Structure 1
């Protein structure tokens, strides 16, 4: 989950431990001031009466790690991101202190926090079907007579491969989030938990010197067979069962990740273990000078390209900064589109499909425009989905949150998000994101174009019979009828923004649009031109991008060398202009 998506938060549900009244009062005052709805629920209680799946919800836990784990149990199945406020003692998960609560929440709703996707662990077996974020512990059952045998034996398979027999006090299958304490006690590794999607099999008090912890992928199926009674606990007892001799359980990575919100007010992971566990290879309060530049963002975001930018320290280049913000906004808006696209594919009723498409447009547009407004409040915004807002400094954003609506409505993956920034009316920065394939096209005018960070450019073909063409809106079939037999084919994808990006990246040699809307082509224009494309109207005149154009504006784009042949062939099929 992208942290920028949190900018649209309109509801907070807080799970509250006892003796947290002062923090709840703080939170209530903050939500009242910001116009955010707040519901509070005692730890252990259900949230069904206050949770609305159609709202942008942030989960907050107020307590220690136990309360945080209850929050994961509640929020993760609902795909709700969670922020932990620490009112406990030794806390590794809830890392925002009460005095920083308001500042941390401000960071969240401005879209400047990060979201860690934490691997969960799932266990199935007789009488047990549970998920946890920390670990599954399988341990010996204490004997009634204290001098009786105190060990357990467990056979373990990884997929179809026999790992071996573990003899000792038990096993732990832990996530990177839950590995720290268990690994320390078993002389195993400490896992850096941020976006680390692995599982770790840790033998407990083994009786053999050569037995070591094992790291596996979350898709690995760990089948564990008991050779005696054993106690199974998930996340410290939030699910529990006594296993009988000869029973089998299956442990693997859970399909759904938990989303943990991290702000610059959190203790970073290595700071936390240094303070609380005596990690003594660093001075907690004196990091090296090379780390200072990333100290203002969470540890989850500091090493990631495109992390949230602090406007107070950002460079003066507006277009460079805008490119970063547009990238983050597009990727954040892509998440609800992917989620809703999956629903469209399974719905047969036309009216229900229409409702989902409308919701997809609305959610994506709200995320993008909120992020832009937070970072560039002085800029204008033009979107297909909302009234225009005039800017004050010559910069205007042009947004199409869902280009290819028809494709989306039919479960077709060829749809995109297009974001552009105009400088004095001219497209100067463009981003086009394809949610279903996770492709990102981007450019700043005059600086070259990229796909997923790698430079792209148009082809150099100059013969129609060697070229692949793309047709956009072509109501009377003029382009198709005149070029299908003369070329290697004419394809129609249904997204003008994508058409221009495929021209830019060399996947096609030319593209045609009978009529264009500014929001459909603004981002793709920057990308195609930066990659070397020639863009004109059907007469060969330079394409005039006009945000206020009234009437038809045709677009013919090519790699440049093919353009004369295109124009010659196209003119034969065009009506004679009225004198």
Structure 2
């Protein structure tokens, strides 16, 4: 999950531990001041009565790590991001102190926080079917008679490959988030949990000196067979059972990740372990030699001009396009299974609305003096020269039919000239990006158009072709004519060399604003049907013909267009 998506939050659900009244009062005042809905639930209680599905929601826990783990158990299955406020003592997970609660929330709701997607694990056994973010432990059950055996034997298989017999106090399977204490106790590594997907098998007080923790992929299926009675706990007791001899436990990485909100007011991971574990590599207050060179916040309230502003706008455009792509991808998965036309229309409308809200809210936060012109949301005027031109869902027809050829298009226009263009394809995770006069990239790989000059060697893309004249005039002449159903994608694929030319019978400004920047930066030539330079105009919002090519192919295209494709 991208942090920019938090900018649309309109509801906070707080899971609160006892003795946290002061922090809760601060949260209540803050949400009242911003007219945000707040629901408060005691730790351990269900939130079903206060949670509304598909409403932009932020989860907050107020307590220690135990409360935070309860929050994960509550929020992660619903895909709700979680921010932890620490009112406990020894806390590795909830890292925002109560005195900084308001500042941390302000940063999150302005879309400037980071959301870590943390690997979870899933465990199933007799009486247990649970998900955890820390670990699952299997330990020996103490005998009633103190002279009886006090160790356990556990047989472990990884994807049906026999790992071996673990004899001792037991073992744990931990995620990167839950690796710290248990791994250290077994002379294993501490895992940096950010963007780390793995599982670690950790022996507990093993009787074999050579046995060490083993790290494996989260897709690994661990099968553990008990050699006697064993106590199974998930995340310190969030799920628990007593197993008998020769029972099986299955552990693997969970399909759903937990989304944890991190702000600049958190203690960072290595700061936390330095303070709490006596990490010797750095002191508690040592931020490192480059701390003074930390980047400034993205928003400077429009104070900067020129290249710096354009580059900051490009970064923002990439972030908001990817953030908007998340709910589109989620809703696209739902629309594929729906057969009722009206229900599909409702989902497409919701997709347009959610994507547009994410983009426009983040832009308004970062560049409040800029105008916004969106297909979905209309126009917000501005006094300055900059206007954002947005199509939150280009390829609506494709989206409605479960077709993956749809995109998010975000452009910044200076006066009447597009200077920043970003197009994001949610289903394939392709991110096209460029600034005017700069380099076009796809996922940071430079793009360049082809150099073909012969129609019979060229692949063409067609947009709306009302009477089929473009197809009929070019189909026999070219290597192929394809129609994707998205003008933004057509221009990006021209830029990447996947096609040699693009024809659009008519285009709206939001269809092509971002794609124009990307295609031109990659070397494309863009004209109208008469070969005159294509002029971008969002003031009137009128439709315009567009012919784009790699450049060398343009004369041949214009010649065939004169044969009757358009009436000029």
Specify the TM-score bucket, using the shorter chain as the normaliser: over 0.9
RMSD: 1.4
TM-score (norm 1): 0.96
Q: Which residue of 2 aligns with 1:505?
A: 496
Q: Distance in 1 between matches of 2:102 and 2:49?
A: 26
> Contact 2:509/2:541 (CA < 8 Å) preserved in 1?
no
1:548 CA displacement: 2.5
Q: Which residue of 2 aligns with 1:411?
A: 402
Q: Deviations over 1:381-417 (max 9, x none)?
A: 0000112111222000000000000000000000000
> Contact 2:157/2:222 (CA < 8 Å) preserved in 1?
yes
Q: Secondary structure at the match of 1:514?
A: strand
1:533 aligns with 2:528: no
1:209 CA displacement: 1.0
Q: Secondary structure at the match of 1:218?
A: coil
1:309 aligns with 2:302: no
Identify the range of structure 1 (348-357 vs 463-472) with the bigger mean alpha-carbon deviation.
348-357
1:320 CA displacement: 0.3
1:313 CA displacement: 12
Q: Taking structure 1 as reference, are residues 575 and 445 closer, same or farther at Cα in structure 2, changes over 3 Å only?
A: closer
Q: Which residue of 2 aligns with 1:89?
A: 89
Q: Distance in 1 between matches of 2:463 and 2:302?
A: 42
TM-score (norm 2): 0.98
Q: Deviations over 1:427-454 (max 9, x none)?
A: 1110000000000111101112111111
Q: Which residue of 2 aligns with 1:152?
A: 152
1:390 corresponds, among 367, 381, 392, to 381
Q: Which residue of 2 aligns with 1:545?
A: 536
Q: Deviations over 1:343-375 (max 9, x none)?
A: 011111111111100000000000000110000
Q: Which residue of 1 aligns with 2:231?
A: 231
> Contact 2:301/2:367 (CA < 8 Å) preserved in 1?
no
Q: Which residue of 2 aligns with 1:187?
A: 187
1:291 CA displacement: 3.5
Q: Which residue of 2 aligns with 1:302?
A: none
Q: Which residue of 1 aligns with 2:104?
A: 104
1:552 CA displacement: 3.9
Q: Secondary structure at the match of 2:232?
A: strand
Q: Secondary structure at the match of 2:4?
A: helix
1:209 aligns with 2:200: no
1:310 CA displacement: 5.3
Q: Deviations over 1:525-579 (max 9, x none)?
A: 01001111111111111111111336541000000100000000111114554xx
Q: Which residue of 2 aligns with 1:62?
A: 62
Count of residues in Structure 1 that have an aligned counterpart in Structure 2: 566
> Contact 2:298/2:366 (CA < 8 Å) preserved in 1?
no
Q: Secondary structure at the match of 2:338?
A: coil
Q: Distance in 2 between matches of 1:33 and 1:479?
A: 58
> Contact 1:432/1:442 (CA < 8 Å) preserved in 2?
yes
Q: Secondary structure at the match of 1:547?
A: coil
Q: Secondary structure at the match of 1:515?
A: strand
Q: Secondary structure at the match of 1:54?
A: coil
Q: Deviations over 1:442-492 (max 9, x none)?
A: 110111211111110100000000000000011111211100000001000
1:372 aligns with 2:363: yes
Q: Distance in 2 between matches of 1:549 and 1:293?
A: 45
> Contact 1:264/1:295 (CA < 8 Å) preserved in 2?
no
Q: Distance in 2 between matches of 1:54 and 1:561?
A: 49
1:309 CA displacement: 2.8
1:467 aligns with 2:447: no
1:292 CA displacement: 3.5
Q: Secondary structure at the match of 2:544?
A: coil
Q: Taking structure 1 as reference, are residues 196 and 11 closer, same or farther at Cα in structure 2, changes over 3 Å only?
A: same
Q: Distance in 2 between matches of 1:322 and 1:85?
A: 32
> Contact 2:508/2:542 (CA < 8 Å) preserved in 1?
no
Q: Deviations over 1:478-516 (max 9, x none)?
A: 211100000001000000000000000100000000000
Q: Secondary structure at the match of 1:513?
A: strand
- Counterparts in 2 of 1:324-339, with a 5 A limit? 324-339=315-330
In structure 1, runs of 5+ residues without a counterpart are: 297-307
1:488 aligns with 2:488: no
Q: Taking structure 1 as reference, are residues 292 and 196 closer, same or farther at Cα in structure 2, changes over 3 Å only?
A: farther
> Contact 1:315/1:321 (CA < 8 Å) preserved in 2?
no
Q: Which residue of 1 aligns with 2:72?
A: 72
1:337 CA displacement: 0.4
1:125 CA displacement: 1.6
Q: Deviations over 1:133-188 (max 9, x none)?
A: 11000000001112221100011000021100000000100011111110111111
Q: Which residue of 2 aligns with 1:299?
A: none
Q: Distance in 2 between matches of 1:516 and 1:548?
A: 14
Q: Secondary structure at the match of 2:290?
A: helix
> Contact 2:120/2:256 (CA < 8 Å) preserved in 1?
yes
Q: Which residue of 2 aligns with 1:34?
A: 34
1:3 aligns with 2:3: yes
1:421 aligns with 2:427: no
In structure 2, runs of 5+ residues without a counterpart are: none
Q: Which residue of 1 aligns with 2:336?
A: 345
Q: Secondary structure at the match of 1:107?
A: helix
1:295 CA displacement: 7.9
Q: Deviations over 1:43-63 (max 9, x none)?
A: 111101100012100000000
- Counterparts in 2 of 1:9-20, with a 5 A limit? 9-20=9-20
Q: Distance in 2 between matches of 1:76 and 1:216?
A: 23
> Contact 1:314/1:321 (CA < 8 Å) preserved in 2?
no
Q: Which residue of 2 aligns with 1:24?
A: 24
Q: Distance in 2 between matches of 1:16 and 1:79?
A: 19
Q: Secondary structure at the match of 2:85?
A: strand
Q: Secondary structure at the match of 2:54?
A: coil
Q: Distance in 1 between matches of 2:540 and 2:32?
A: 43
> Contact 2:448/2:497 (CA < 8 Å) preserved in 1?
yes
1:268 aligns with 2:268: yes
Q: Distance in 2 between matches of 1:496 and 1:187?
A: 57
Q: Secondary structure at the match of 2:84?
A: strand
Q: Distance in 2 between matches of 1:539 and 1:549?
A: 21
1:402 aligns with 2:390: no
1:359 corresponds, among 335, 350, 356, to 350
